[in-house]
């Protein structure tokens, strides 16, 4: 199993290293296609390669004409099967963190929670690969307050690191009758204001944690971005007197997330390349919005 994972990882990195060459080849083919379509002469720098490139163009179809990237490979099979998620914590978790992770187990369908114990991260990742888990979620704390969320997609990444803020669990809400019970139906997702390239990437990581819901599901999960702070809200809706009398009921938990790093690898790979890192001490950081408007 270890040798197989090393081989698969090497193949993944090799395909990733070819992306630059494939993109250059794609641009050359695009220029030749445009010249032929507009009846213009072939660009001078491409005349020596024209015959070989035109032969490749003739053999292409819709699936092979556009080069694929490592991002396409990461979630290529996401639509074929439902996500299978493992939830765990940092070592020696406090009671509030344990309670929060128990509630997260019901937020994510098909999630399983394990006690971390003395297990090393690399052992957890290897075990999850062997048992066909699609994602691992690690929750961290500071003095009993959940303050970090790590989402690691398997088998080869990416890994997104979020800061957690203003966490309010169902356990903290005193009126238990008002919030009701936690449904386990697959939820509808609302992703608001993930408009930039990084925002689309972040939304892609978050949405693939949830399976496709049924049309009549009354459970809604919202990720709303404002000034790069992502608000998580969890509701159910009820129709008491027709479609115009919709009542929303928040069932918790609720929290805010702030993305600060995306790595092109799993959480146990310290050598993995950084795709994006928040630089909070740069002069222009406060003026810029990275995820949305």
Sequence-distant (6+) residues with CB within 8 A of 261 are 160, 161, 274, 276, 277, 278
Which tokens in the block code for residue 49?
């390669």
Residue 226 and residue 269 share a domain: yes
Radius of gyration of the chain measured on its C-alpha atoms: 23
3-state secondary structure of 258: strand
Same domain, yes or no: 175 and 252 = yes
**153 and 44 in one domain?**
no
User: How many alpha carbons lie under 13 Å from residue 28 in its C-beta half-sphere?
Assistant: 20
Q: Tell me the CA distances in angstroms from 125 to 116, 155, 269, 277, one per residue in order.
A: 12, 9, 10, 23
Same domain for 184 and 132: yes
Residues 155 and 224 in one domain: yes
Specify whether 120 is located in the same domain as 224: yes
Residue 76 lies in a domain: no
pLDDT tens-digit profile, the chain (293 residues): 567 776 777 777 766 666 667 777 777 887 888 888 888 888 888 878 878 877 777 767 655 555 555 555 677 777 788 999 999 999 899 999 999 999 999 999 989 999 988 899 999 999 998 899 999 999 999 988 999 999 999 888 899 999 999 999 887 776 666 666 788 889 999 999 999 989 999 999 999 999 999 988 989 999 999 989 999 999 988 887 776 778 888 888 999 999 999 998 899 988 888 989 998 887 777 778 889 87
What is the token pair recorded at 126?
Answer: 């290897």
Q: Is residue 283 in a domain?
A: no
Q: Look at residues 4, 50, 5 and name the one whose alpha carbon lies nearest to residue 29.
A: 50
Q: Are residues 2 and 61 in the same domain?
A: yes
Same domain, residue pair 8 and 58: yes
- Confidence (pLDDT) at 62: 58
94: left (phi over 0), alpha (psi -120 to 50) or beta: beta
Domain shared by 46 and 125, yes or no: no
pLDDT on residue 64: 56
Q: Are residues 60 and 140 in the same domain?
A: no
Q: What is the model's pLDDT at position 78?
A: 76
Q: Do 126 and 238 share a domain, yes or no?
A: yes
pLDDT score of 21: 73
Which of 20, 39, 67 marks a domain boundary?
Answer: 67
Which pLDDT value is given to residue 67?
A: 54
Cα–Cα distance measured from residue 234 to residue 250, given in angstroms and rounded to the nearest whole number = 6
Question: Under the phi-then-psi rule, with left for phi > 0, alpha for psi from -120 to 50, and beta for the rest, what region is 155?
Answer: alpha
Does 223 fall in a domain? yes
Distance CA 182, CA 133 (A): 24
Could you give the C-alpha distances from 238 to 5, 219, 244, 250, in angstroms and in order?
47, 10, 11, 11
In the chain, how many domains are there? 2
Residue 17 half-sphere exposure, CB side, CA atoms within 13 Å?
6
Residues 224 and 165 in one domain: yes
Instruction: List the CATH number of the domain containing 161.
Output: 3.40.50.10480
**Burial class of residue 44 in the structure, from the number of CB atoms within 10 Å of its CB (0-12 exposed, 13-18 middle, 19+ buried):** exposed
In this structure, the strands spanning 159-168 and 254-264 are antiparallel
Is there a domain that residue 54 lies in?
Answer: yes
Cβ contacts of 23 within 8 Å, gap of 6 or more? 67
Enclosing domain of residue 49: 1-67
């Amino acid at each position: 199993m270890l040798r197989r994972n090393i081989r698969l990882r090497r193949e993944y990195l090799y395909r990733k290293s070819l992306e630059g060459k494939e993109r250059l080849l794609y641009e050359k083919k695009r220029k030749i296609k445009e010249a032929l379509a507009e009846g213009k002469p072939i660009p001078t720098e491409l005349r020596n390669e024209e015959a070989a490139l035109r032969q490749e163009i003739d053999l292409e179809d819709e699936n092979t004409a556009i080069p694929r990237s490592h991002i396409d490979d990461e979630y290529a099979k996401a639509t074929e099967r439902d996500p299978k998620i493992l939830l765990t914590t940092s070592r020696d978790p406090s009671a509030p963190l344990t309670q929060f992770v128990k509630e997260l187990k019901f937020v994510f369908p098909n999630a399983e929670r394990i006690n971390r114990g003395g297990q090393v991260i690399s052992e957890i990742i290897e075990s999850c690969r062997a048992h066909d888990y699609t994602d691992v979620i690690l929750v961290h704390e500071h003095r009993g307050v959940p303050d970090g969320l790590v989402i690691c997609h398997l088998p080869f990444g990416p890994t997104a690191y979020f800061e957690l803020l203003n966490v309010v669990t169902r356990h903290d809400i005193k009126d238990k009758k008002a919030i009701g019970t936690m449904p386990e139906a697959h939820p509808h997702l609302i992703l608001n204001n993930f408009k930039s390239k990084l925002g689309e990437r972040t939304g892609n990581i978050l949405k693939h944690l949830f399976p496709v819901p049924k049309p009549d599901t009354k459970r809604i999960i919202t990720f709303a971005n404002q000034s790069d702070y992502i608000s998580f809200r969890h509701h159910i809706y009820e129709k008491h007197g027709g479609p115009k009398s919709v009542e929303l009921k928040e069932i918790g938990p609720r929290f805010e997330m702030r993305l600060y790093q995306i790595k092109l690898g799993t959480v146990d790979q310290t050598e993995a390349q950084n795709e994006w890192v928040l630089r909070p001490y740069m002069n222009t950081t406060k003026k810029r919005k990275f995820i949305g408007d």
